[in-house]
Amino acid sequence: MMNETVNIIMVGIAKRRRRFIIVTSLFAIIAFALCCTMLMLGNTIYPVLDVIRVLLGEQVKGASFAVGTIRFPRMIAGVFAGFAFGVVGHVFQTILRNPLANPNVIGITAGSSAAAVFCIIVLQASNMIVSIASIIGGLATVVVIFLLSKGTSFSIGRLILIGIGIQAMLNAIISYLLLIGRQHDIPTAMRWLTGSLNGAKMENLYPLIITVLILAPLVIALGKRLDMLELGEQAATSLGVNTNKTRLILIISSVLIIALATATTGPIAFVAFLSGPIAKRLVGVGFSSIIPAGLVGIILVLGADLIGQFAFVARYPVGVITGILGAPYLIYLLIRMNRKGDL
């Protein structure tokens, strides 16, 4: 009897592992295909061989500029920003055990946006200053939200409500800044607020790339502990997890990642919100969904950018398309949570 039970458990684990590998591999293949498509498509469509030659450093007439200077940085920005938004959204939703608890909804990206718009509208600052201010704004917002939600004990519901309130206040500040801003500064601010890969340059992407390459592996390494945190404070502690230390490392790492991503591309709507639930639903339980969530983030950003560039007569920033995709899911989620009594 005991052997049969063990065999059933082992078979179940093997099935979940196989599902995880298949789904994650499929995500990676789709992401790679979208990367290739972004490099090939444009006003001029270049064959795969020309793209490869450009990436290897050869000079190809026309392709070297279009692929190397415009399309490649745009693709890299989409890959790293998408991965960052996907991973961080999943981390926040898991730590706080609430699908609404993502950086967009609880005001973190709004803090970055308010700081950036202030620098653009009021200070007419350079891109570097805007990026630095965006990072500081995101970090400061996190500190304020956590201090205000602390109370006598930590409350997830209180944190989310305060975050939503902070977001509303910051959005009001952004609206006021746009109202008083000079006419020629407003398009720049609006393009940044929408979330866009337009104008991406490699020299501006290195901070995001380095941050993701350093901190994302740390977050991934804590994936099992993150899943244990979802079980609750007592359950995670009984399983040997130092909950305070783990939560602190994950939150600090995630905030730094999301602040750099927002500073680079602007707050691309709903990517952090959608990536985790999609990955978790398709991957299933038993294994960490951090990497799949990051891959889904890449797919959403690159896919939405391609749709925005080529599916319509006019060209739309990636944030417009992800906003159209994410808004119905947010409404559905709110209705479902209200029916279950979670709101």
Q: Is the pLDDT of residue 75 over 80?
A: yes
d(CA 273, CA 296): 11
Instruction: Please say if the pLDDT value at position 286 is more than 60.
Output: yes
pLDDT for position 10: 66
What would the two tokens of residue 236 be? Answer: 């995670």
Torsion region of 315: left, alpha or beta (phi above 0 gives left; psi -120 to 50 gives alpha): beta
DSSP symbols for 197-209: -TT--HHHHHHHH
In a domain, 324, yes or no: yes
Tokens of 308: 């925005």
Question: Can you give the pTM of this predicted structure?
Answer: 0.88
Q: Say which residue, 330 or 316, is predicted with more confidence.
A: 316
Q: How confident is the model at residue 343 (pLDDT cuts 50, 70, 90)?
A: low
User: Does 183 fall in a domain?
Assistant: yes
**pLDDT bracket for residue 152 (50, 70, 90):** low
Number of domains forming the structure of the chain: 1
More confident residue, 301 or 13: 301
Average pLDDT (114-124) is 84
Q: Considering the domain boundaries, does residue 2 fall inside one?
A: no
Expressed as residue numbers, the domain containing 182 is 14-340
- Average confidence (pLDDT) over 44-59: 85
Distance CA 166, CA 144 (A): 9
The 8-class DSSP code of residue 97 comes to T
How many C-beta atoms lie closer than 10 Å to residue 15's C-beta?
Answer: 12
Give the confidence band of 298 by pLDDT, cuts at 50, 70, 90. very high
Residue 297: the pLDDT is: 94
Residue 104 sits in a domain of what CATH number? 1.10.3470.10
Q: Would you say residue 7 lies in a domain?
A: no
Considering the domain boundaries, does residue 152 fall inside one? yes
Residue 6 belongs to some domain of the structure:
no
119 occurs within a structural domain: yes
Domain assignment present for residue 159? The answer is yes
Task: Please write the tens of the pLDDT for every residue from 3-25.
Answer: 666 666 666 677 888 888 999 99
